[in-house]
Amino acid sequence: MRTEAEAAGPQLEPGDFVQLPVPIIQQLYHWDCGLACSKMVLRYLGQLDDGEFEGALQELRLTRSIWTIDLAYLMSHFGVRHRFCTQTLGVDKGYKNQSFYRKHFDTEETRVNQLFAQAKSCKVLVEKWNVQHQRQ
């Protein structure tokens, strides 16, 4: 019988790395980097059907304003185990004056804060962590 450590494989030393055959998917627009990354993860895991992905985007109402919490819901939709760690449980007000967010910030703030508030009941794991990777 193997121990958990043996089952997990060899321990990595500083400077070691693991290379995974994750497919590269190019962004279509200037705003969809998170969606392209999500597609890469889903395709790597063998869970990406373009029609299902587009359907999930419509169901979750992910159109042109994608926040990281949206990506957590997207991964949850596809059954991908994950944990979203963030310094701010809700909208970071610092984004309000950035040109990308300025036009729709007020309506997006409400929507995004609702996603954070409903995360636990929707089985989306969100944890507040600081920069030093310590739970707060």
What 3-state DSSP class applies to 126? Answer: strand
Who has greater pLDDT, 93 or 42?
42
Average pLDDT over every residue of 10-20: 76
Task: Give residue 58's pLDDT band: very low, low, confident or very high (50, 70, 90).
Answer: very high
List, for residues 59-72, the tens digit of each pLDDT value.
998 877 889 999 99
Q: Which residues of 50-75 are buried (b: 16+ CB within 10 A; e: fewer)?
A: eeebeebbeebebeebbbebbbbbbb
C-alpha torsion sign, points 120, 81, 89, 99: negative
C-alpha to C-alpha distance for 82 and 129, rounded to whole angstroms: 15
Res 18: pLDDT: 82
What's the pLDDT score for residue 2? 47
